Every structure is written in C-alpha cells, then in structure tokens.
C-alpha cells in the first residue's frame, strides 16, 4: 500500500512538471510569434520618390507661380538662398512713409523697392526711389553705419522658390546701389522668402490675389 502511494505521488509530480513545461513552452511560442508579427509588420514609410517630391521646390501642385514671366527657368537652376531673417532686431526701423531727412535715424527715410511677380529686375518706376535711398545710404555709411537689404516675396510660390527669388531681389538692389557709389562692402543682403509679409489675402481670383499681394514683393533697406 505504501508503495502504491509513493508511485501515485511520483506520477503527480511528473505530470505537474510536464504541465508547467507545456505552459512555459506555449508562452515562449506565443512570445516568438508576437516577435515575428512585429518584425514582419508592414510599417508605412515614405518612399524615396515621395520624399524627393515633398522636399523639392519644383512641385507645380504646391506652387502658385506665374510661369508666363519665367517659363524657361527651372527651379532646380535657382541658386541656394541665404538663411532667412526671422527678426529685424538689431536693425534701425525704417519709416517708409516719412519724406523728411534729418540727422537722427528716426528722420531717415528709405523707400522699399517693389518688384513684379516672379521678377528680380528693378522696375523703371522704382529707379527714383532707389536713387534717393543710395544718397541716404552713402550719408549713413560715412557715419560708420552699414546697410542691410532684405528681399521679400508674396505668398505665391513654393518655399524654396521664394527664398531664392527674395535673395536675388536683395542682391540686385545691392548691385544697383554699388553702381551709384554706395560701398559694396558696407551692404549686406538677406533673402526672407515670404516669411515677413506686409499684407495677406485669401482671395480666390488669381488676378485679384496677385494685385493685393503686390506690397509683399519688395526689397527693404535697413540700417545696422
């Protein structure tokens, strides 16, 4: 009888061990299967083609650009622009509405130079304003100051296109100022893209939108 009891006890221990092993084995199997599911899951990522499309400035679906004025120029040919100026801190604010010139910075009047859509050439109606700006610039530079020309664009067009265009606008103003006797080494330029607009518009009519955003297509001359 004692032997039978010992045998029964041994069988209970064996079966209990097998049950635990089966549980552990099932648990391990479940973990391994979960790992496979995670490892083999299809996590959506951007393809290289999509990344290139999003990063490119030459995206007609995302750019609202007047191709009639610059139809033969590819955006890929536009040179890389300088970093944008997100703040005018450190520059003397310019009173573009003032017509009086005095000895203090608050009396100095420098006019913004306006541009046509997608253009960086100086318009004929802006030459007189630029000529006056040059005379003022020469005066303040002789007092030890420097001039900063900021190029700006309107909200039409892609980010990279506007950055490059705004830089070209600033550069062409610097070139014209240098031709008129302003020391080139005292003129800094920076392209701001469409980051500092004077006006904003939600018009849906293209012609009205272009006209309303005209003040943003400019170059501002600041004193440093």
- The per-residue pLDDT for 108 is 73
CB 94 within 8 A of CB 220: yes
- Is pLDDT above 60 for 135? yes
pLDDT in tens, 160-217: 999 999 999 999 999 999 999 999 999 999 999 999 999 999 999 999 999 999 999 9
Under the banding of pLDDT at 50, 70 and 90, the label for residue 11 is low
Under the banding of pLDDT at 50, 70 and 90, the label for residue 45 is very low
- Is pLDDT above 80 for 134? yes
- The per-residue pLDDT for 4 is 58
Under the banding of pLDDT at 50, 70 and 90, the label for residue 224 is confident
Which residue has better confidence, 88 or 131? Answer: 131
Mean per-residue pLDDT, 4-19: 56
Neighbouring C-beta atoms of residue 123, cutoff 10 Å: 13
DSSP for 77-109, please give it.
Answer: GSPPPPPP----TTSB---TT-----SSGGG--
Domain ranges of the chain: 68-223
pLDDT in tens, 178-191: 999 999 999 999 99
Alpha-carbon torsion 43, 49, 55, 57, what sign?
Answer: negative
pLDDT in tens, 96-130: 443 444 445 545 779 999 999 999 999 999 999 99
- The per-residue pLDDT for 105 is 52
Q: Up-side HSE of residue 215: CA atoms within 13 Å toward CB?
A: 9
- The per-residue pLDDT for 85 is 37
- Is pLDDT above 80 for 48? no
Classify domain 68-223 by CATH architecture: 2-Layer Sandwich (3.30)
- The per-residue pLDDT for 10 is 59
How far apart are the C-alpha atoms of 198 and 110, rounded to whole Å?
16
- The per-residue pLDDT for 188 is 97
CB 31 within 8 A of CB 38: no
pLDDT in tens, 50-71: 444 434 444 333 344 443 344 4
Mean per-residue pLDDT, 10-19: 54
How far apart are the C-alpha atoms of 189 and 176, rounded to whole Å?
13
């Amino acid at each position: 009888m004692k032997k039978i009891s010992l045998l029964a006890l041994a069988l209970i221990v064996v079966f209990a061990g097998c049950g635990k092993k089966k549980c552990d084995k099932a648990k391990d199997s479940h973990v391994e299967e979960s790992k496979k599911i995670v490892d083999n899951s299809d996590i959506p990522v951007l393809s290289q083609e999509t990344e290139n499309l999003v990063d490119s400035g030459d995206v007609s679906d995302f750019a609202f650009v007047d191709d009639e004025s610059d139809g033969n120029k590819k955006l890929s040919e536009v040179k890389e622009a300088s970093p944008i100026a997100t703040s005018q801190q450190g520059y003397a604010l310019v009173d573009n509405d003032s017509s009086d010139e005095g000895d203090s910075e608050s009396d100095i009047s420098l006019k913004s130079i306006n541009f046509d859509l997608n253009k960086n050439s100086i318009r004929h109606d802006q030459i007189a304003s630029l000529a006056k700006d040059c005379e003022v610039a020469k005066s303040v530079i002789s007092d030890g100051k420097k001039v900063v020309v900021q190029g700006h664009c309107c909200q039409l067009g892609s980010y990279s296109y506007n950055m490059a265009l705004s830089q070209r606008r600033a550069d062409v103003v610097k070139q014209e100022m240098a031709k008129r006797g302003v020391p080139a080494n005292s003129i800094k330029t920076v392209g701001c893209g469409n980051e500092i607009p004077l006006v904003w518009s939600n018009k849906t009519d293209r012609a009205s939108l272009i006209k309303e955003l005209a003040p943003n297509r400019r170059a501002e001359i600041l004193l440093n």
